[in-house]
Structure formats: C-alpha cells, structure tokens
C-alpha cells in the first residue's frame, strides 16, 4: 500500500514528466522522484528528449550531485521502469545498482520491447507496486500510450468559436474571435504537440504560420498542410524555415510548383484524403501527438473517421449569427448518431471559456 509521501512524490513526478511534452517522441514522457530510506526527497528527474537519460537515471544523478544516499530508498516513477537496452541502458538495472529497496510506478509499460522492468526488480528482491495515480499519469502520457496501443498518433482537435458556434464571420474574417489569452494558450498546445495539422481552406483564408511563438526552448512541431490538389503557393508563410513542413496531397496532384518541398501523396477517403493514411504516415515519421487546428471540413473528416481523442474549444462571449461553423460534415445525420463528449476541464482565459472534452464513444476506425 502506497504511503502519503509516495502519493505526493507521484504527483510531483507527473508534473515533472509534463515539462517534456512535445520533446520526447517517439518516447514517452516520464518523471521520477527518489525518496531516501526515511521518506525524504533525495532526487528527481524527467526524460527530456529521445536519446537522452531516462527519468530514473536523471533522478539518480540529481541525488548523487546533491550527496544524497538512495540505498534502501524508494523510486516513484510515472511509468514502469524499462527493461531493455536501446540508446540508453535499462532503468530497472540502474535502480538495482543504486540499491533502491522499493519501486512504485503509476502505469505498466505496454511496449513489448521495454516491458518487464517490474518483474526484473521483484525477482531481485525489490518491493514493487504499480497503479498509484495511474489515471493521472496515463492522461499525461496519452499521446505515447495511444501510439503504442493504437499504432497511430494521439489527436487533439482545437477550435475557436463564438457562443453560437461560428468560427468566422459571413465574409470569412476570423481574426480575432477569441482573446490574446486564448491565442497564447494555443501556442502552449502547439509546443506540446509533435505535429500541427491544417487544411487547405484554412491556409487560403488565414495564411497561418503554425510555428510556436512566445515560448523559449521548445521543439517546433512539424507543420502539416492537408492540401488535396496542391493549391498552396510557394510564398505561403508555412513554407518558411521556422519549422519543418509537410504537404499532404492527393495521388494525382501536380506538385511541380513546389520543388524541394516535403510532400507526401495519400489515397482518397470518403471525405477528401484518407485520414488514417495521413496518421499512418505521421506515425512512421515519429509523430506521436497531433494538434488538429482545422478548418471545419478537415475537422469533420477526422471526427467522421473516429480519429479525435481530445477536444479543446475556446469559446468567446460573442455572437455572429452567420458564417462557417467550427465543425463541418462529420458523417452525423441524426440525433441518434450524436458523438457524446465527457467534459474534463473548464477554465476562464481572459473573457473566454476553454472547454476540454473527450469522446465517450468514438466511431469505429477503419482497418
């Protein structure tokens, strides 16, 4: 049974892991807090980026640098310590070598190449316990867990709208529906994602840049434009060198006006390019989290494909009465088909409301 000190340490470890969102793919985000034999914090660390030290090793180094002894102590980790050698050594062995007597972890590692750390530790006489604050830790690692369990990236759809659901006015203008506080929060979402995806309609209407601004030290996400007929112009802002860019086009698109641009040809689905083919392409490129920024037609395609895992809506206290809605055709034609959502968070950002929700029952994905 976990102690209060271990629960507090796990909450700290979850917060540490979140510091690396957007920087560790294709690896998970992981945090670790080491307690000495008397239950006092001796060291802490988190996995900062793929190829770098894992959280347990970073915490052990932190404890050593501070002169703290962890022999007979406890390692509190958000993910089961790994049991394999990749670009770094197995964390289970590192904890054994350090003399840790107990390991408490939140989520069991579902990756077949890395799992088994808890069994290795237990076989060596280390007291192990899993499941502490598992839901909270899993929520923070949703992108990586989705990639392992569903073999595709985690998709967060973000939109901004008025209270009557309009994402732009009747004349197409949309800057700015929401406040500066909401727009700054979107840059946080971009910084936490591996890729930001928009459609050609948004590209033509807004000429978005899609790179992260206002935050230091972030890994810029891959900018992805779903442009079925390759209508993008060479001077589009998304083609600058602020971040990498991928243009997804149809199999028959003419891309001769885009020399040197990274493009991928995808098959057609029921509503434009095949969403699952796009996600498979991104997954193969190491993308584990996608921020879908629109517009409404592309969002509708993702919802219809059952490929939206979380929704963040920024609602401005304003009315337009006409204009495009935030969500286009999602294949829902009757109330019986309504995609119900579970609201997980509501927050005020300046004058706006930010609502976070997850589908309670997704449409079945294509095989």
According to DSSP, residue 69 is labeled -
Check if the beta carbon of residue 304 is closer than 8 Å to that of residue 331. Answer: yes
Question: 3-state DSSP helix/strand/coil percent for the chain, to nearest 5?
Answer: 30, 25, 50
Nearest to 273 by CA among 305, 228, 308, 303: 228
Contacts 24+ apart (CB under 8 A), 177-181: 177/316, 177/318, 178/314, 178/315, 178/316, 178/352, 179/316, 179/349, 179/350, 179/351, 179/352, 180/350, 181/349, 181/350, 181/352
Alpha-helical runs (H) found in the chain = 4-18, 55-65, 91-98, 117-123, 134-140, 142-150, 180-192, 200-206, 275-284, 296-304
Q: How far apart are CA 125 and CA 73, in angstroms?
A: 13
Q: Strand 31-35 relative to strand 74-79: parallel, antiparallel, unpaired?
A: antiparallel
Q: Which position has the token pair 């029952």?
A: 361
Nearest to 27 by CA among 53, 9, 45: 53
According to DSSP, residue 336 is labeled G
Task: Tell me if residue 293 is catalytic.
Answer: no
Q: How far apart are CA 104 and CA 12, in angstroms?
A: 13
Catalytic one of 44, 56, 80, 192: 56
Q: Which residues are part of the catalytic machinery?
A: 56
């Amino acid at each position: 049974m976990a102690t209060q000190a271990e629960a507090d340490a796990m909450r700290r470890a979850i917060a540490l892991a979140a510091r690396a969102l957007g920087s560790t793919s294709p690896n998970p985000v992981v945090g670790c807090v080491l307690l000495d034999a008397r239950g006092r914090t001796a060291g802490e660390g988190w996995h900062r980026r793929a190829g770098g030290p894992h959280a347990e090793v970073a915490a052990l180094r932190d404890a050593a640098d501070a002169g703290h002894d962890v022999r007979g102590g406890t390692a509190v980790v958000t993910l089961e310590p790994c049991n394999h050698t990749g670009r770094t050594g197995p964390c289970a062995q590192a904890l054994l070598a350090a003399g840790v007597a107990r390991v408490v972890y939140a989520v069991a590692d579902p990756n077949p190449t890395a799992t088994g750390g808890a069994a290795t530790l237990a076989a060596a006489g280390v007291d192990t316990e899993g499941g502490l604050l598992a839901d909270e830790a899993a929520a923070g690692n949703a992108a990586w867990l989705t990639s392992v369990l569903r073999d595709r990236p985690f998709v967060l759809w973000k939109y901004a709208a008025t209270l009557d659901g309009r994402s732009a006015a009747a004349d197409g203008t949309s800057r700015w529906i929401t406040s500066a506080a909401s727009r700054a929060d979107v840059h946080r979402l971009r910084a936490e994602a591996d890729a930001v995806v928009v459609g050609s309609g948004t590209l033509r209407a807004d000429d978005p840049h899609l790179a992260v601004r206002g935050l230091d030290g972030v890994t810029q996400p891959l900018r992805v434009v779903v442009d079925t007929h390759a209508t993008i112009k060479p001077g589009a802002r998304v083609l600058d060198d602020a971040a990498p860019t991928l243009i997804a086009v149809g199999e028959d698109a003419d891309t001769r006006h885009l020399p040197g641009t990274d493009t991928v040809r995808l098959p057609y689905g029921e509503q434009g390019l095949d969403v699952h083919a796009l996600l498979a392409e991104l997954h193969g490129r190491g993308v584990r989290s996608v921020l879908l920024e629109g517009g409404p037609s592309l969002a509708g395609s993702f919802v219809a494909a059952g490929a939206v895992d979380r929704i963040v809506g920024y609602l401005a206290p304003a009315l337009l009465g006409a204009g495009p809605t935030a969500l286009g055709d999602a294949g829902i034609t009757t109330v019986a088909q309504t995609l119900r959502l579970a609201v997980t968070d509501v927050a005020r950002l300046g004058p706006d409301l930010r609502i976070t929700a997850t589908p309670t029952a997704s449409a079945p994905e294509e095989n």
